Structure 1
Amino acid sequence: MDPMRPESFTHKCSLLSTGRRYHYVDEVPHEYDPQQDSTILCIHGFPDFWAGWKYQIGPWVRAGYRVVAPDMLGYGQSDKPHEPEEYSLKRISSDLASILDVILVGKAIVIGHDWGSHIAARFALWYPERVLGVVQQVVGSYNGFEVVLIPPSSVSLGYFPPSSNYEDLDVFVKRFPIYKYQLYFASTGSSAELERNVRTIPTLEMADGDRLTPANSLDRELLQIFIFMQELQYIMSQNDTMRGPTNYYRTWNIRFNEEKDGHLPETYRQGTPVLFLRGAKDGTSSKAVLRETRRLYPAAKIITYEDAAHWLMLEKKEAVARDVLDWLCQVGL
């Protein structure tokens, strides 16, 4: 497993019981015992693919964990359905449960970044019996709850519970302008424009939330998602369309309805170990966010990296690998 050689990882592709085909990396430790050794399920965000975890997979496997990192729906070599409803987080969670079925794993430690953090949270609510523990990145808040910040602002995601009151995305954005990028990504034209500008994304910024314009004074923190140009170029070489990735932003009302109909609880099943990772320079991470996180999860461990922003797996690759392992040891997973 050489992070600089993606082909050196163990690649698999499976047609799931949900009818979708997923590509994933599946690394099994030496002398693996499925009855004794835990599995870590890594869920990437926008706009990434399995290799977002390439620096952590090796250390975790060498520590004795099986590590599975899929290309999420719409990304890489996994299926890329066109319609937004296919990206319902209830359906995505069913896909993840099916991946665990395919590899004969009953329960897993789920760890997510960006959209993957939000998906990990919902997987733990839809399938609590399949979760050993949850690792997420902390950023942002809305009505006191953590929200999805996807690409640097849409960059990582913390936890926010299912809501009982619906609010249109445009109303939400008027109250919290920092999230105007979500309106852009949810628009019908964003996919094609992103594809046309894929090579110059780091030199573009959104104007009024509805188009891309050349950036004059770039927000360095906002662009942490693209901290290494070579990483971006490789990511984009694996994602031949942006329709699937942006479809996640088109599920605002779909997610609300399925969570309301599903009567999802506010928090994970009692006793579920939780670790939150936080970059102090991640623009919207604040003390208020930490207070709310602590209220919802008083027993959770929170680790703050003072000199890091959004993409912790790249900025603090060794520390993330080490700190997750230390926490797993502490909680007995």
Structure 2
Amino acid sequence: MSMDPKDPSSFNHKTARLSTGRTYHFVDQIPGQYDAVTTPTLLCVHGFPDLWYGWRHQIGPWVKSGYRVVVPDMLGYGDTDKPFDASEYSTKNLCADLAALLDFIHVERAVVIGHDWGAFTTARFALWHPDRLLAAAIFSVPYTPPSKQYIPIQEVASRAPDFGYQVYFASQESTQTIDANLRRFVRLLFRRPSSKAPGFTKLGELKAVLEKDANLDHLDTLLTPEEFEYYLSEFRKGMNGPLNYYRTSKYRHDEEAAAKLDPKLRANLPVLCIYGSSDPTCLEPLVKKAHKFIPNQKDVPLTGCGHWIMLEAADQVTNAVLAWLNELQGPKKVNGKL
């Protein structure tokens, strides 16, 4: 099946009810000469606000290089279940879903690759289910260990005002405003790094910008008109689920504290961190700090790139992952292990 990044329908779409009781939509691309024992699977986890479609430029090249590539719409997105209650979106629950998805496709261990919230989820998957990963790649969000004490987002934002938008996302009010101004919201978040967008990260700014700033209607984005409309049509299925990820901090903290999660990832787990040098969500000092918890992390900064590296530097990201995987496994794949 040919995979055309411009045509979402050209990918192999599946839907499955998982053992966790949730129904997930996912794309499952199997390479030629696939062998269930020896062919590694790449499980790609998108962030906010995104879809399986965020990986459209990487899926085809990775499949052509001999990998099975599985890309779900995460909980709350697209045609995957969208529970209303925020507690359903705790990372422990998301990781249970990912493990159940691997079970469904009969894959014991995968290379898990995540962007944005997907990077956070990928790293937590390595803590909750360490035996299910061959390797991990995290894009655009550095690893942060489980915290010993809970700090509400309101307090975080009082110390770092640019986190004010997360306070807004954590409120139920944000769902109605964003649903009502979805076209502007998508333009704002997928804007080109060079676009002169209004400030929206401090508390109170985003609601005012979405409702009153008509300049957003003309903001240049990283998406083609067709891609923009596809995202819009999927996000019109409701933004409560995607925003629920920002309403889980207390649930996440309590679950991690109860499980006494180790702050360090498995010592022999290879980890790749790719990030844009101009991305305010992934500052280099925080990337370096993560090495304390991930001794086997390789860093790949992309000069001049912002947050949406799979779009801004599609080929670089694709090839950096392939080069890293080749380094890990050498010239031959043996028993599906890297």
TM-score (norm. length: structure 1): 0.89
SS of the residue aligned with 1:331?
A: helix
Give distance in 1, aligned partners of 2:137 and 2:202.
34
Partner of 2:223: 228
**C-alpha separation in 2, matches of 1:79 and 1:71:** 9
Shift of 1:283: 2.1
- Farther off after superposition, 90-99 or 204-213: 204-213
Contact kept in structure 1, 2:13 and 2:28, CA below 8 Å: yes
User: Alpha-carbon deviation of 1:95?
Assistant: 0.5
Question: Which deviations, in whole Å up to 9, do the C-alpha atoms of 1:103-154 show, x marking residues without a partner?
Answer: 00000000000111111111111000101111012xxxxxxxxxxxxxxxxx
Give the aligned partner of residue 180 of structure 2: 196
- C-alpha contact 2:143 2:287 (8 A) present in aligned 1: no
Whether 2:130 is the aligned partner of 1:161: answer: no
CA offsets, 1:290-318, max 9 Å, x none?
33023333331111110211100000111
Cα distance in 1, alignment partners of residues 46 and 117 from structure 2: 7
Structure 2 unaligned residues grouped into runs of 5+: 189-197, 330-337
Determine if contact 1:27/1:61 at 8 Å carries over to the other structure. Answer: yes
Superposed CA deviations along residues 47-103 of structure 1, whole A, max 9, x for unmatched, are 111010010000000111000000000000000010001101101100000000010
How far apart in 2 are the matches of 1:304 and 1:233? 31
Mapped partners of 2:215, 2:10: distance in 1: 40
CA distance in 1, matches of 2:83, 2:164: 25
Aligned residues: 310
CA distances 1:211-238 after superposition (whole Å, capped 9, x unpaired): 23245999xxxx99x5326334321211
Equivalent positions of 1:95-134 (< 5 A) are 95-134=97-136
**Contact conserved, 1:205 with 1:212, CA < 8 A, in 2?**
no
Match of 1:312 in 2: 309
Partner of 2:194: none
Q: Aligned equivalents of 2:15 and 2:214: distance in 1?
A: 43
After superposition, give the CA deviation of every residue in 1:155-195 in whole Å (9 maximum; x if it has no partner). Answer: x4221010111111111110111111100111111111111
The 10-residue stretch of structure 1 (276-285 or 36-45) with the greater mean CA deviation from structure 2: 276-285
C-alpha change, 1:33 and 1:60, in structure 2 (3 Å) is same
For the residue of structure 2 that corresponds to 1:212, the secondary structure is helix
C-alpha spacing 1:290/1:159, structure 2 compared with 1 (3 Å): closer
Aligned to 2:36: 34
- Two-structure CA RMSD over aligned residues (Å): 1.9
Greater mean alpha carbon deviation, residues 90-99 or residues 156-165: 156-165
- Structure 1 residues 284 and 120: CA distance shift in structure 2, 3 A: closer
Q: Identity over the aligned pairs, expressed in percent?
A: 43
Residue 284 of structure 1 and its aligned partner are, at CA, apart by 4.5
Q: Give the structure 1 partner of residue 19 of structure 2.
A: 17
Q: Is it true that 1:177 corresponds to 2:139 in the alignment? A: no
In the other structure, the counterpart of 1:143 is none
Equivalences for residues 43-122 of structure 1 within 5 A: 43-122=45-124
C-alpha distance in 2, partners of 1:12/1:317?
Answer: 25
CA contact (8 A) 2:142 2:282 kept: no
1:287: how far off? 3.7
SS in 1 for 2:127: helix
Residues 1:322 and 2:319 aligned together: yes
Give 1:267 deviation, angstroms. Answer: 1.8
Contiguous gaps of at least 5 residues in structure 1: 138-155
Matched, 1:296 2:282: no
* 2:333 equivalent in structure 1: none
The within-5 A match list for 1:231-310 is 231-239=227-235, 240-310=237-307
The one of 194, 200, 206 equivalent to 2:200 is 206
Q: Is the 8 A contact 1:205 1:215 kept in 2?
A: no
Is contact 2:164–2:201 with CA below 8 Å preserved after alignment? Answer: no
